[in-house]
Structure 1
């Protein structure tokens, strides 16, 4: 029987035809995604679900999808898909990460022109027959400084286009190296300097814990008087109420927003303010981009349903079915090692060196490399996957090297990941025990034996008595239960480390209490995607 795919959002007829040409039984119902109850009622009939942003693939929908094998998102953002629920159900989630980059970058440039020359208001005035020529005095882009927050795929295109407009471009991106910045022709700066220097600021970062409210009231007040702010990335990156206040005061000269904290945005603090240009999340809304992502998702889903090939999956490695059974635990370990180094590293990464020892050295190292790199990159970009991670790393100028060797120690096999920056090298090693569970076995050359948990605490300190008691007492008094506690040290009285697996996230106030003891040189909260 042919696989059956439901298209519950508006995809192009060409995408529908791809499914048909590949022998897929396709059911095209472009408005069904808006009716969650009806979708839940029928989803159990399908092997694949192709969507855009209107369909919400919630836990309830996925729970009802007894035959579903793959969800394909025509576009990059997957906020409308419960990926944890999909993973637990064994449903692959795919996206098309590179189909609408140019379109979104062009929209940001268009918005910048619109707010610089007050085009929407001038157009409305002229349509009304007012001819208010002196009212709409604009500013040139030539010679102005553009501050780009996030110089990845889309941000990089914006940088290139802005340089073509003869703008001075400064970029803030913790993962942008000096060498890569030089090749892009931009000046790498810290956020504080960007805020102080930029005449225009444009955001091109995903919405994460680190980027949420990155333009807070405090940061907005640090901007140059007369700045204009453009956001075509994600809602929630800018304090909209604070921005409205600064627009009213005249400190900010204008703003152009395509995305909002609450969408659909029927009301917003920015609406109806002078020189504020608003569009309804049109960043990817061009004929070319919509066609590209629709065709890509149709091809990817067809490949998987017919041959088992996996492309641009967010929750599954690109490996064959035969490899998956053997490599599964090692792929998890690779991701955990990458996630550890990614969360521990704040400065730009120059190189990632991966050592495979023993049995693991004979496996699919390309897939394992992707697992490591994806784990590292997810801190900066949650939408990155095992396919796109190496591309992102290459674009950032990160060198990736692999070494494999015969069994050289007490373990049948292990993986060691070393991240190199301008300031330091950071390494961690891990193995898979006979029970199939990944373990951390070495950090900074210090031997340990640590189970991997969802919520972990990493500390460094001088090897002195009382550290265990301080950690245990402080966490215990604040209701944080320790599931696993691992210690290691380099030498007696030398540097020591502790890695704790705890049952719940540790509040920042507790971290502050630990710092105030004066016993720790470093305290880091870590999160791992442990099923």
Structure 2
């Protein structure tokens, strides 16, 4: 059955056509995003949800979205999506961070120039028949210092444009490396240094608990007298009341905001302030940007729903369309290794160590580790997938370690998963053969080769004559058919492992009788 997507906001018709052309069922209902009750009623029937900013994907919506696999935001900001709840439900949240970057950066530069030269007020005055040249004395930007709070994709474009306008650019961004700063031609500084050195401060950072009100009364007090503040990023980055006070007092010579704490902003404390320039969240509002982000989100959602490729996800490792087919069998292997270990683990898990050797070490190991965690946690928590597994592991204090190394031993490439519990360490290793099928190649240090079927019987025992015959008789007597039989041991008479694929579930009384044999240590029925 083809996946089904709901578009609940206004999106380009070309984006709707992309879904149809790629074989995805799509319902284009651009008014539903504003109707919370209607969205709640119908969301359970969709695998994907494509939105802009009008749709609020709350915990209530996510709880009702039984089939939902992916939420695609046409644009950058995802503060209208409860990402934490989506992640816990295993729903990928993706955005389009590059489609409107240039448009938003250009708007910031436009707002900077507008407030520096008081263009909106001068326009209104002139069209009212006045000629107030003396009233609208402006400020040049050439030679002035611009402070960027956030120097990511959009911030770096603003920096390039500002440098072209002969401005000196400072940047505060914890993720900006010294090498990147040099390449951009900006000076990396701390926030306080940026505030007291900048003639213009422009905000280009996401809204998080750390960045909320990053420009408050204390921050404004550290700014130069007569500085300008521009916010074309997210409402809430600046304390609107504090900005109004600073404009009224003349501490700030001007401010230009495209975004507000409450939108649509039909009224706001900043409205009517001296030299305050505002626009109704137009940062991404050009025909080029609207088309770009709509097409991008449609392609990204189709790539995931049809091919398993993940791009620009905020809660899942990226998997390109090119690497998805190559990665898929190793994802399956990692999940099987995790499931194998998880079903055998009976005490609290403290940590896991995943070792990647050979060619697989060059792959997207973050995705593979997520798959291993999915397999490991599923027997314990049931509803787990590659999106939710890492956060669920973190919540439970499970430490995760990755090791990459070159080829070792007889196999060209393999994955070894070691689970650390309160009582012991248990390791299991596997590889993918040329047929693309995962194989177990080692359990607890004992070499063996086994393909995992839907029903498996796992037995550890002392290597004693007659046990295999006894096992075969016990299973045969109880109509349990053996599909494959795999053995391994450390040496004659020592520890041995038996991994048997059977055609159906083994009855509990059969398991109990096998476990009662004196030289048997553990008997487990496994499902894959």
> Which TM class, normalised by the smaller chain length?
0.5 to 0.7
Counterpart of 1:404? 405
Q: Per-residue deviation at 1:35?
A: 0.4
Q: Per-residue deviation at 1:18?
A: 0.8
Distance 2:94 2:73 in 1: 6
Counterpart of 2:147? 147
Q: 1:58 to 1:323 in 2, by over 3 A?
A: farther
Q: 1:141 to 1:90 in 2, by over 3 A?
A: same
Q: Per-residue deviation at 1:327?
A: 3.6
Structural mapping, 1:116-195, within 5 Å: 116-195=116-195
* 1:358–1:407 contact (8 Å) kept in structure 2: no
The answer to whether 1:201 aligns with 2:201 is yes
Q: 1:145 to 1:359 in 2, by over 3 A?
A: closer
Q: Per-residue deviation at 1:328?
A: 5.8
Q: 1:433 to 1:235 in 2, by over 3 A?
A: same
Q: Tell me the SS of whatever aligns to 2:253.
A: strand
Q: 1:404 to 1:149 in 2, by over 3 A?
A: same
Q: Per-residue deviation at 1:157?
A: 0.6
* 1:215–1:238 contact (8 Å) kept in structure 2: yes
Q: Per-residue deviation at 1:147?
A: 1.0
Unaligned runs of 5+ in 2: 339-352, 370-385, 388-402, 427-528
Structural mapping, 1:499-510, within 5 Å: none
Q: Per-residue deviation at 1:26?
A: 1.6
Identify which of 417, 420, 424 aligns with 1:433: 420
Q: 1:176 to 1:86 in 2, by over 3 A?
A: closer
Q: Per-residue deviation at 1:225?
A: 0.9
* 1:359–1:413 contact (8 Å) kept in structure 2: yes
TM-score of the superposed pair, with normalisation by structure 2: 0.64
Distance 2:280 2:251 in 1: 25
Q: 1:406 to 1:40 in 2, by over 3 A?
A: same
Which stretch shifts more, 43-52 or 157-166?
A: 43-52
* 2:92–2:313 contact (8 Å) kept in structure 1: yes
Q: 1:323 to 1:155 in 2, by over 3 A?
A: same
Residues 371-427 of structure 1: per-residue CA shift (max 9 Å, x gap) = 99xxxxxxxxxxxx99xxxxxxxxxxxxxxx9525789xxx9899xxxxxxxxxxxx
Q: In terms of Rg, which structure is larger?
A: 2
Q: Per-residue deviation at 1:43?
A: 1.7
Q: Per-residue deviation at 1:293?
A: 0.8
Distance 1:219 1:138 in 2: 25
Counterpart of 1:503? none
Q: Per-residue deviation at 1:324?
A: 3.5
Counterpart of 1:270? 270
Residues 111-153 of structure 1: per-residue CA shift (max 9 Å, x gap) = 0001001011111111211122221111111111111111111
Q: Per-residue deviation at 1:28?
A: 1.0
* 1:148–1:169 contact (8 Å) kept in structure 2: yes
Unaligned runs of 5+ in 1: 332-355, 373-384, 387-401, 416-430, 440-531
Distance 2:260 2:363 in 1: 39
Counterpart of 2:105? 105
Residues 139-198 of structure 1: per-residue CA shift (max 9 Å, x gap) = 111111111111111111111000000111111222223332222111222222211111
Q: CA RMSD, aligned part only?
A: 3.2
Counterpart of 1:324? 331
Q: Tell me the SS of whatever aligns to 2:245.
A: helix
Q: 1:164 to 1:6 in 2, by over 3 A?
A: same
Counterpart of 1:367? 364
Counterpart of 1:472? none
Q: 1:329 to 1:241 in 2, by over 3 A?
A: farther
Residues 349-385 of structure 1: per-residue CA shift (max 9 Å, x gap) = xxxxxxx97456664644235899xxxxxxxxxxxx9
Which stretch shifts more, 153-162 or 191-200?
A: 191-200
Distance 1:273 1:22 in 2: 51
Structural mapping, 1:223-262, within 5 Å: 223-262=223-262
Q: Per-residue deviation at 1:254?
A: 0.2
Distance 1:217 1:183 in 2: 33
